[in-house]
Structure 1
Amino acid sequence: MEKKLMMDLLVNSHVMVPNLLLENYYLLGLNEEECMLLIHVHSFICKGNYFPTPDDLADRMSCTPAQCADHLRRLVQKGYINIEQSNDDQIYSEAYTLEPLWEKLIVHYYQKSANQQNAEQEEALYTVFENEFGRPLSPIECETLTMWLDQDHHSPELIKAALRESVISGKLNFRYIDRILFEWKKNGVKTLQQAKAHGEKIRNKFTQKREHQTDKNQSSITLPMYNWLEK
Structure 2
Amino acid sequence: MQKADFVEWLREGTISIPAALLTEYKNMHLSEQELVLLLQVLHFSEKGNDFPTPTELSGRMAMSAFDCTEILRSLIQKGFIEIIDGDSTDGIRFEKYSLDPLWDKLIDRFMQNRKQEKVNARQVEESDLYTCFEKEFGRPLSPFECETLAMWMDDDHHDPIIIKAALRESVISGKLNFRYIDRILFEWKKNGIKTIEQAKSYGRKFRQHQGQQKSVQKEVKPQTRPVPFYNWLEQ
TM-score by length of 1: 0.63
Give the letter for the 2:98 counterpart: Y
Matched, 1:156 2:160: yes
Who wins on radius of gyration, i.e. which is larger? 2
Q: Residue deviations 1:68-108, cap 9 Å, x none?
A: 59945xx4xxxx66666531635532323110111111112
Give the letter for the 1:87 counterpart: D
Contact 2:216 2:227 survives alignment (8 Å): no
Please name the residue that 2:234 is paired with: 230
Give the letter for the 1:94 counterpart: K
Q: CA deviation at 1:140?
A: 2.6
Give the letter for the 1:182 counterpart: F
Q: CA deviation at 1:170?
A: 2.2
Contact 1:81 1:99 survives alignment (8 Å): no
Equivalences for residues 142-221 of structure 1 within 5 A: 142-208=146-212, 216-217=220-221
| Larger displacement relative to structure 2 (202-211 or 158-167) | 202-211
TM-score by length of 2: 0.62
Please name the residue that 1:106 is paired with: 110
Give the alignment's Cα RMSD to 1 decimal.
3.9
Q: Residue deviations 1:100-159, cap 9 Å, x none?
A: 111111112222222222222221111111111111122232232233233433233221
Contact 1:81 1:101 survives alignment (8 Å): no
Please name the residue that 1:45 is paired with: 38
Contact 2:210 2:230 survives alignment (8 Å): yes
Please name the residue that 1:89 is paired with: 89
Q: 2 CA distance for matches of 1:224 and 1:187?
A: 22
Q: Provide structure 1 residue ranges, at least 5 long, that are not aligned to the other structure.
A: 1-15, 26-34
Q: 1 CA distance for matches of 2:216 and 2:154?
A: 42
Give the letter for the 1:171 counterpart: K
**Percent of counterpart pairs with the same letter?**
42
Q: Provide structure 2 residue ranges, at least 5 long, that are not aligned to the other structure.
A: 1-18, 45-49, 55-65
Matched length: 190
**Distance verdict in 2 for CA 1:209–1:123, change over 3 Å:** same
Q: 2 CA distance for matches of 1:230 and 1:110?
A: 43
Contact 1:184 1:195 survives alignment (8 Å): yes
Equivalences for residues 5-84 of structure 1 within 5 A: 18-22=22-26, 24-25=27-28, 35=29, 42-48=35-41, 59-60=70-71, 71-72=77-78, 75=79
Contact 1:130 1:136 survives alignment (8 Å): yes
